[in-house]
Amino acid sequence: MRVLRRTLGTLLVLGLLGGCLSCAAARGDDAGPGDRRAEAPAPYEQLLPAPASVRAAGPGYPLGPGTVIRTGPVGDDEVRRVGELLAEQLRGPTGLPLPVVEGLEGTAGAGILLRIDARAEGVGEEGYRLESAPRGVTLTARTPAGLFHAGQTLRQLLPPAGAGTVPGGQITDAPRFAYRGAMLDIARHFFPVEQVKRYVDQLARYKVNTLHLHLTDDQGWRIAVDSWPRLAEYGGGSEVGGGPGGHWTKDQYRDLVAYAAARYVDVVPEIDMPGHVNAALASYAELNCDGKAPERYTGIKVGFSSLCVGKDRTYEFIDDVLGELAALTPGRYLHIGGDEAHSTPAADYAAFMDRAQAVVGKYGKTVVAWHQLAAARPAPGAVLQYWGHDKTAAAEKAAVAAAAKAGHPLILSPADRLYLDMKYDATTKPGLAWAGYVPVRRAYDWDPGTYLAGSGVPASAVLGVEAPLWTETIATRPDLEFMAFPRILGLAELGWNPAPPDWSGYSRRLAAQAPRLDAESITYYRAPDVPWP
């Protein structure tokens, strides 16, 4: 239905603009006999994610020393900030001064215009229109987020280095899914804020709008909690393999959240419970049923730890932790894990999750949990994150489908499609393979809307997609990037573009990103079936 709606929208735009090149290109349609569509200039064909509709036409706008970035309406600080950030992103590669000025008046030959139009059609909350002609480029959106995404498209229309020309044409674009996420596990191995910012930059560049942070696990507790200081001070001092670990202070966390927000990336923090809690149990003896703190843990087993479900102190603990985390979180979601609670009896698990979900609600947030919550009692509105795979038992999928039909939105993270920690193939050095190998094509070549249809999940229940990067075997920036790139671009494409998957078209657009990844010194896997330059 959603696809159909989008297709109708596309046809409408097509009718208005007189032709839709990239939607056909994205689907790999062959131009039929008598088809008079012109070839789109290469930059429009290379866009990733592919826009909903593109029309290439006439000469474009050459950037030059006189180019300014104009923002309006005057006095809208947020639009101004979007303009400043775009200028910053363009100054490096173009070498131009690109001053930012407020006001759209007297704009003939004015350069790059960013304008809010609350009635802009076909762009939704996050989409945009981009028009390029010799006198300038106009970006129009209903929201600053839309303008930000338009700016990222503009970057891709320019060469990776040098000033260049924005080719003539028009784009009308909007995302397929509201939730387009990446997850990073900073618990198994600790990663500093600066490195995560670098990841945020890349995600935002490809219109991924959510960063889920897995902040706690058996091997480490990574976020300062004032009311329970030993969590970070002691529980943060370990990681897989016996390294020093580390944690983020609240100021560092706020800094990351603000950095991401400026790029329209929402941070969803996760405190995993009632399992995956050895770091907390090691930090506070009182959290253990027997009152004895275990050693810190640096291996990679899962499913052996549990909070003490029968103890009142456990609920004071989660109230304190989730309360402090909610206060650090401008977004609407708090993720409470709920996966692999193999050491918590099923009835205890359900009782615990009831109380944990109530705490999230008390702090005004919406629950996200791994899909195991479906087998307990998901609270009204709770979002489930599906991480099953082709071999997941039918009964488990049926429980997820029942929750979806009862109104619980789903985030899809199939482990054998979107887990970025799965090896590409037998030669990949970092990574795991419990869900099988995940080559670049496999990560991209599926449809989230129909993925669980066979189990009874309606397409309308799919809130979006997320690619998790677990770090049991990943400790360095090159390894992290090697596993994420280029598969994370497949996630970006699936989350944004409504067209059915088309590997041949997609792999060509992916290959065209190589010079941009190279320009940022990103380590990426040169998959053999992608026509890299």
Query: Footprint of ligand NGO on this chain (CB under 6 A)?
Result: 302, 339-340, 370, 387, 419, 421, 432, 470, 472
Q: Which of 3, 44, 2 is nearest to 20 (CA)?
A: 44
By the 8 A CB rule, do 492 and 180 touch? yes
Task: Give the count of beta carbons closer than 10 Å to the beta carbon of residue 516.
Answer: 19
- Cis (ω within 30 of 0) for the bond into 160? no
- Residue 490: phi and psi, rounded to 5, are -65, -40
Q: How far is the CB of 315 from ligand NGO (least distance, A)?
A: 24
Indicate the angle between helix axes 193-205 and 144-157, nearest 10 degrees. 80
Of 19 and 409, which CB lies nearer to ligand NGO in the complex structure? 409
Among residues 135 and 342, whose Cβ is nearest to ligand NGO? Answer: 342
Closest approach, Cβ 276 to ligand NGO, in A, equals 6
Q: d(Cα 319, Cα 354) in Å, to the nearest integer? A: 13
- Residues 284, 314 contacting (CB under 8 angstroms): no
Closest CA to 276 of 194, 212, 340, 201: 340
Judged by CB, which is closer to ligand NGO: 6, or 212?
212
Whether 88 sits among the annotated catalytic residues: the reply is no
Minimum distance, C-beta of residue 340 to ligand NGO, in the bound complex (Å): 5
How many Cβ atoms from other residues are within 10 Å of residue 332's Cβ? 13
Residue nearest to ligand NGO (CB): 470
Catalytic, out of 84, 121, 340, 396: 340
Give dist(CA 532, CA 145) in Å, integer. Answer: 31
* Nearest to ligand NGO of 108, 426 (CB atom): 426
Rounded Cα distance, 512 and 520, in Å: 14
Which of residues 189 and 365 has its CB atom nearest to ligand NGO in the complex?
A: 189
Structure tokens at 354: 């009831």
Q: How far apart are the first and last CA of the chain?
A: 38
Q: Which residues are catalytically annotated?
A: 340
